[in-house]
A and B are shown apart, each in its own frame.
Chain A
Amino acid sequence: MALTKVTSAVLEPTAVTDNISTGSITSDKIADDAISYAKLGDEFTTAAALSASDVDFSTAQVFTKTLTANDTFTFSNVSTGMVKDLVITGNFTLTLPTSVKVISGTYDGTVSNLIQIVSTNGPTEQWASISQEAV
């Protein structure tokens, strides 16, 4: 019996153009341990050097900057649960948004500082901890 090639023309339009809807891919369609690091988006896997002062949470996981003057950072595209790492050096005053609460550590201008930001309420509230390399 001859097979007829199925073209998009014979499919329901939505089968070709629509996004995968809720429930279309159920958890049993994804094998355990099947989602690898490589499949994650850039926002989870890349480091970006900040040239300006906006930290766009949707673009990278790690943001680096060497301060050359006092600097005021802004945050954008922040959602609850996001965790981002800022690696900042430079002996200047760094101002983070008012939504940031520092829970531990202090900034040391003489060394690199890891500032870890956790959003606990979207752009409204983030908690930060600051640490440096142990010496």
Chain B
Amino acid sequence: MIAIDLNGTIKAFSKLPKVWNDANGTHLNIIDGEAFGFYPVEIPSYSGSYQELGDIYFDSENSVFTYPVNAIIFEESIEDLKNSKILMLKEAYQAKLKVTDWYVVRAAEGGIAIPNAIAIERNNLRTECAQHEDKINTLVTKVEIVNYIF
């Protein structure tokens, strides 16, 4: 990806344009893009969960166009973020439990016992979910909560 600064407006292209018009003429077959003001675009690494890219700018020291990495400002309170995270956690574990729910239904309606391995697996899932919920509740910063992986 490359870009050019056109009087303060930065325009990005996937590659050098085949035809380029500027005050000096209509240019065909541009090979040395920098001679016309085209420079590579570098996208810095960032965490999409708590960082975002700002507006593209020209980094004259490195001769590239790039973006500042800004921290996302979360509008929600810490409690709201925790509640949201715990809701996501419970939905995820509910989906895992759903796979073996039919054993439970069969046991309730038909009297066929849930296999021991399945019962243990379901119990472990509930324990894991509870442990994650406890950990989430101990987190103190918004970034920690947003970044928490279960």
Enumerate chain A residues within 8 angstroms of B44, measured Cβ to Cβ: none
Q: Is B29 an interface position by the 8 A CB rule?
A: yes
Chain A contact residue count (CB 8 A cutoff): 19
9-residue interface stretch from A8-16, A24-32, A58-66, A88-96: A88-96
Against B, the Cβ 8 Å flags (1 = close, 0 = not) of A63-102 are: 0000000101000000000000000000111111110111
Chain B contact residue count (CB 8 A cutoff): 14
Contact A109 B29 (CB under 8 A): yes
Bound complex: CA A94 to CA B18 (Å): 11
Q: Is A46 an interface position by the 8 A CB rule?
A: no
Against A, the Cβ 8 Å flags (1 = close, 0 = not) of B77-113 are: 0000000000000000000000000000000000000
Enumerate chain B residues within 8 angstroms of A72, measured Cβ to Cβ: 24-25
Nearest 10 A-B pairs (CB), nearest first? A107-B28, A106-B18, A95-B25, A107-B29, A96-B26, A100-B26, A94-B28, A102-B19, A95-B27, A109-B29
The interface of chain A, by Cβ under 8 A from chain B, is 70, 72, 91-98, 100-102, 106-109, 128, 130
